[in-house]
Structure formats: structure tokens, C-alpha cells
Amino acid sequence: MNIFFTGDVMNRKKSPSKSSPTDPLKFHILSNRYIVLDGHFEITEYTNDYIEFCSNSLKTRFYGSNITVKELGDESADIEGLFVRIEFS
């Protein structure tokens, strides 16, 4: 898994090719209000207060408030909200 911290949502680059289910999931944490996921993943739980993803055997949960999936593609998701915590299991 790769986690990237950057400040400009407009300058992020989309992966030109599809990833394999064994490729790591990449998180682009643009601020405490915007996160971009790139790679092969499955949304396993989604509420207003948290969203959980599973990639390979790793589960990741983002906690916060007003969490909304703004864009969802085959191998990407743009998530907005006020994020306060991340858990990995």
C-alpha cells in the first residue's frame, strides 16, 4: 500500500493502465477533506461517519463526518468529508 500526501487535487495523475488485483492500493490524501483511491479495491462499508475499503487482505477505514463518494470508477474513488482518523486492519 502506498500513501501519498499532496496539496493539489487538480494535479493528480490518473493511472493510464488498469491495475492487477495484487497491485497495492494507493491513497492520495490531499487534505483532511479530500482523499483519492487508485487501484483495485472493494467498498465493504459506507456510512456518513466512516467508509471501509478492502484491497487484497488489508482493510482500511476512514472516519470522519459528512463522508461522500464524489466519483467512483472501476479502479478509483474520490471521497470528500471531514476526516479525523484512519484505521488499518
pLDDT in tens, 51-69: 999 988 789 999 999 999 9
Q: How far apart are CA 65 and CA 2, in angstroms?
A: 24
Locate cell 467508509: which residue?
Answer: 51
More confident residue, 5 or 25: 25
Predicted structure pTM score: 0.74
The percent of residues in the chain predicted with pLDDT above 70, rounded, is 75
Structural domains of the chain in order of their starting residue, each with its CATH number:
2-88 (2.60.40.2000)
Q: What is the pLDDT, as a whole number, of residue 74?
A: 87
**Which three-class secondary structure state does DSSP give residue 65?**
strand
Q: What is the pLDDT of residue 22?
A: 65
What pLDDT score does 72 carry? Answer: 92
Predicted confidence band at 15 (pLDDT cuts at 50, 70, 90)? very low
More confident residue, 26 or 78: 78
Among candidates 26, 1, 29, 31, which has minimal Cα distance to 15? 26
In this structure, what DSSP letter does residue 39 have? S
Q: How far apart are CA 88 and CA 57, in angstroms?
A: 11
Report which of 32, 15, 35 is spatially closest to residue 24, judged by C-alpha positions: 15
pLDDT given for residue 40 in this prediction: 85
